[in-house]
Chain A
Amino acid sequence: MSIAKLTVLAAAATALSATTAMARDQVQIAGSSTVLPYASIVAEAFGENFEFPTPVVESGGSSAGLKRFCEGVGENTIDIANASRQIREKEIKACAEAGVSEIIEVQFGYDGIVFASQQDGPAFTAFEPADIYNALAAKVVKDGEVVDNSYNSWSEFNSELPDAQIAAFIPGTKHGTREVFEEKVLLKGCEDTGAMKAFMDGGMDEDAAEDQCMAVRTDGKSVDIDGDYTETLARIQSNPDGIGVFGLSFYENNADKLKVATMGGVEPKTETIASGEYPVSRPLFFYVKKAHIGTIPGLKEFASFFVADEIAGPGGPLANYGLVPTPELADVQATVDGETTMEPASN
C-alpha cells in the first residue's frame, strides 16, 4: 500500500505548507477591469525595481473588487481595490461594519470613453449626445410627442449622419463604464432633445424622468456587451454599421481597426480629456486598506510607486498606455505618503 502512504504524505505536506505560507508576502489587488491594465503595468515595474515580489492583480469589476475589499482585515482579504468609479456610501458602511474603517482613496487619473466604428464602415465621425439618445433610448420625442423609439437608421433623426442601420454595442450593466455612458451621454442627450422636459410634463417626477432617460431600447438595436472590449471589437468587425463604446486606451491600441467619432465636436484625446473638454470621461481610483500597511510587505511602497511622477505622470508608461494623468498628481502623492484616510460614512 505504498501509494496510500504516498498520498497521505503528500496531503500532509500540502496542509503543512499551506499553514506555513499563510504569511503572505505579496500585495493582492482586485477590481475594475478598466484599471487592471494600469495596475498590471505598475505591478510589473514594481516587481522589477523593488525587492518585493510582483503584486497579484485580478479583475472582476469595480463592485466585485470593492465587495472583496470590504470583507474584512486579514491576510486572506485583498489589500487594494481598483475601481472605475468612486466608492459608494453604502460600500464605505459595509467596509466599516467588517472592520475596514481606514481606507486611503487614490484617484490616479482619468479614462476617456469613446464611440468608434469599423475603419471602412459608414462615416460615423461626429456625434452629439442627442444623436446617441435618439438612437438608443427606449422612448424619444418625435414631432413633439413622447413615443416608443422606432428609429431604424441614424439619418432619420439627423440628416448629417449616414443612412445606416442602428446597431450599437454598449457596456452591460455590470460595467462601471455603463454608468458613465448613462449619465454623461444618455442623460445629456435626454435633456438636449427635450425628452426630459416632456417626461416631466407628462407627470413624472425628476427621478422617474431620469430613470426613463437612461432606459435603453430593448428591440435589439442596442446590444449590451457583458464581456470585455475585445468582444465589442469582434462585434464591430463583423457588423459594418456597428457603433461600439470603448475605453480610450483600448481604442488607442486598436486604432488601426477602429475609427473614432467626436462627441459634441471634441475629439477624444489625452489633452481634451485632461482639460475636461471631451465630455465623456471618468476618474479612476484605487483604494488601499490602511490596516494592511506594515503587515503586508511592499504595500505602501507599491501605492507610492503607482502615483510616482515617472509612472502616473505625463510621458510615463501609464500615459503611454492611454491613461489621462491627473493634474493634481502632487496632491495624490501627498495623500499616499501621509496615509490620509477617507472620512467615515456620514451616518
Chain B
Amino acid sequence: MSDTTVPLESQTGHRSLLLPDEKLKKRRRSETWFKMLGLGAVITGLFFLVILIASIVYNGVPAFTQTYLTIPVTLPAEKLDKVGNRNPSDMRKVSTFGYKPLLEQALIDTLADRGIEMPFDDAGILADLLSDGAAAGVRRQVLDNPDLVGQTVEFDLLASSRIDGYYKGRVDRASVNRGMVLTSVHLDVADALKEEGLVERRFNLDFIIGADASDNRPEQAGVGVALLGSLFMILVVVALAVPIGVAAAIYLEEFAPQNRFTDLIEVNISNLAAVPSIVFGILGLAAFIQFANLPQSAPLVGGLVLTLMSLPQIIIPARAALKAVPPSIRQAALGIGASRNQMVFQHVLPLAMPGILTGVIISLAQALGETAPLLLIGMVGYIASNYPDGFLDGFVSPNSALPAQIYEWSKRADPAFYERAWGGIIVLLVFMLAVNILAVVLRRRFERRW
C-alpha cells in the first residue's frame, strides 16, 4: 500500500545504501517520537509519584512526634485514696474527673514557681493547654503504682492538639485567635513554659502502637490497634484464600475436563474479579453476620469478606502461571511414569510457584488497602479502642483496619486528626512494604529455573 506513495525515482534511482532515504528517515522519526512519548509517560508518572510521596511525607511526618509538658503534680491522699489503704480497687472510685482539678492546680503551681504570670481567672481555661487524656494518663499511673499517692511526682502530660500543632507549625497565632478553642494567651504561656524547659517534643511511639482516641483527643490517637486488626484479617486471608485459590487454579488448569460447566466457572471467576468490593461487604453482612451469626466488627468476618474478594485475583494469575509451564515438562514427567498427581505437585507446581506467589502478593496488598467492604460489617468508626486479649481473641474482638482508621480520621472535625490520617498512610505504606518484601523473599526461595 505504501509503495504507491513512494516516488518512483527513489525506487529506481541508484542511491547508496549507506545514505538514508526518505522512507527510512520517516521510520526513524516515528521511532524517536515513540521513544520520547514513552519517556514522557514515565516522567509524568514519576512526577506524580514524587508529588504523592512528598505530600504524604510532608503532611504525615509531624504525626510521629508529640508535644509533652513535664509538670510536677501533687497527689493528695485525702482526695485520691479516701479509704487510706492504697488499694487500687478502692482508689478506682476516683474517676478521671477527680484527677482533673489536680492537674489544673499543678499547672497554676508551676506557673507561680517559675515566675510566669497566670493570665486567666479560671484554672479550667489554663488547663486547656493539656489534653483531655492527661488526667486519664495520671490516673492510670497512680493505679498502677498506688505508692505515688501523697507525693509530688513529675508527670509527662500530653499537650492539647493545638499546642502540639503550634510547635509543629500547623497552628499559628492568627488562626488560634480566630478559633474558639484556645487563645494566643495560651500560646504565650506555652512559650514561657518552653523557655523553662518544661515543653518537649519527642518521638511519638504511642502513635504507632496506641489505640484510637475519641474526637476531642486527637493528640492521643494511635494506629496500633487498627494495625493489629489489619494483621489478623491478613492472617485469615492467607489461611483461607491462598490454599482455596491455588487448589481451584490447579484443578481447573490440570484436572478439569473442558466442558460447558468448567467454561461457566471460568466466566464467573473472571466476572467476580471485576465486582466492586462493596458488594462483597453486603454479601459478608448477609452471609457471615446475619446468617452465620458471627460477631460484628470482627477481623474474622473482615478477613472472610476479603478472602472472597481476593479469590478471583489469586485464581486468575495462578492459572496463567500454570499455563506458562511448558507442556514438555508435563509430557516428560508422564513419560517416565509419574502419575498426574506427581506430575502436578512435583514438577508443574514448583515451576509455577513464582507466578502464583506474585498473584497472591498483589491480591494481599489490595486486600490490605480495602475499606469499602469493611464499612458494612461494622469496622469503621470509633472501634479500635481496646487491644485484643490474646491471639484468638484478636480474630473476634471488635477492631478496625488501617485503611478504615485512616478514613475515619479524615472525617473527624479536629484538624489534628488530618495530620494523623497522613501519618497513618505512612504506617500503611511501610506495613505493605514489609508484607511485600516478605512475599518477595518467599518467591525468591521458591524460584526455579529451567
Contact = CB atoms under 8 A, between A and B. Distances in A.
Contacts of B386: 26, 47, 53-54
A13 B236 CA distance: 11
Contacts of B412: 37, 230
A183 B440 CA distance: 59
A43 B392 contact: no
Interface string B229-248: 00000011001100100000
B396 A255 contact: no
Interface in A129-174: none
B181 interface: yes
Contacts of A11: 239-240
A252 B181 contact: yes
Max chain A Cβ within 10 angstroms of own Cβ: one of B97, B174, B216: B216
Max chain A Cβ within 10 angstroms of own Cβ: one of B175, B180, B414: B180
Interface in A15-45: 16-18, 21-22, 24, 26, 28, 30, 33, 36-37, 39-41, 43-45
B350 interface: no
A28 B395 contact: no
Interface string A176-212: 0000000000000000000000000000000000000
Contacts of B398: 26, 28, 56
Contacts of B381: 30, 36, 40, 56-60
A76 B293 contact: yes
B449 to A, nearest CB: 23
A10 interface: yes
Contacts of B294: 18, 76
B236 A58 contact: no
A33 B215 CA distance: 12
Contact of B243 (A7, A37, A71): A7
Contacts of A71: 290
Contact of B393 (A21, A230, A255): A21
Question: For chain A, which range describes its interface: under 10, 10 to 19, 20 to 34, or 35 or more residues?
Answer: 35 or more
A22 B239 contact: no
Interface stretch (B63-71, B295-303, B324-332, B352-360): B295-303
Nearest to A33: B411
Given A249-B413, A317-B132, A317-B216, A59 B380 contact: yes
B396 A18 contact: yes
A17 to B, nearest CB: 4
Interface string B356-388: 000000000000000000010010111101100
A94 B270 CA distance: 40
A244 to B, nearest CB: 13
Contacts of A18: 294-295, 298, 300, 395-396
A11 B235 CA distance: 10
A51 to B, nearest CB: 8
B415 interface: yes
A286 to B, nearest CB: 14
A41 B216 contact: yes
A256 interface: yes
Contacts of A320: 216
B385 A14 contact: no
A127 interface: no
Given A37-B215, A58-B383, A28 B139 contact: no
A229 interface: yes
Given A4-B243, A56-B382, A253 B297 contact: no
A310 B97 contact: yes
B239 A58 contact: no
Contacts of A51: 92
A48 interface: yes
A228 interface: yes
A56 B395 contact: no
A44 B297 CA distance: 18
Contacts of B97: 310
B178 A256 contact: yes
Max chain B Cβ within 10 angstroms of own Cβ: one of A30, A227, A254, A257: A254
Contacts of B186: none
B297 A56 contact: yes
Max chain B Cβ within 10 angstroms of own Cβ: one of A47, A56, A229: A56
B300 A321 contact: no
B213 A255 contact: no
Interface in B325-347: none
B405 to A, nearest CB: 13
Contacts of B395: 14, 17-18
A45 to B, nearest CB: 6
Contacts of B415: 253-254
B77 interface: no
Contacts of A21: 295, 392-393, 396-397
Contact of A40 (B214, B296, B392): B214
Contacts of A228: 411
B297 A321 contact: no
Contact of B179 (A75, A227, A255): A255
Contacts of B180: 252, 255
A41 B96 contact: no
Given A17-B393, A40-B382, A58-B381, 6 more contacts: A7-B239, A36-B381, A37-B413, A43-B382, A49-B95, A57-B383
23 contacts: A14-B300, A28-B296, A28-B297, A28-B378, A36-B381, A37-B216, A37-B413, A40-B214, A44-B213, A44-B214, A44-B217, A45-B214, A47-B385, A56-B381, A57-B382, A57-B383, A76-B289, A76-B290, A78-B296, A254-B179, A255-B179, A255-B180, A256-B178
Interface of B: 92, 95-97, 124, 132, 136, 139-140, 171, 174-176, 178-181, 213-217, 235-236, 239-240, 243, 289-290, 293-298, 300, 375, 378, 380-383, 385-386, 392-393, 395-398, 410-415
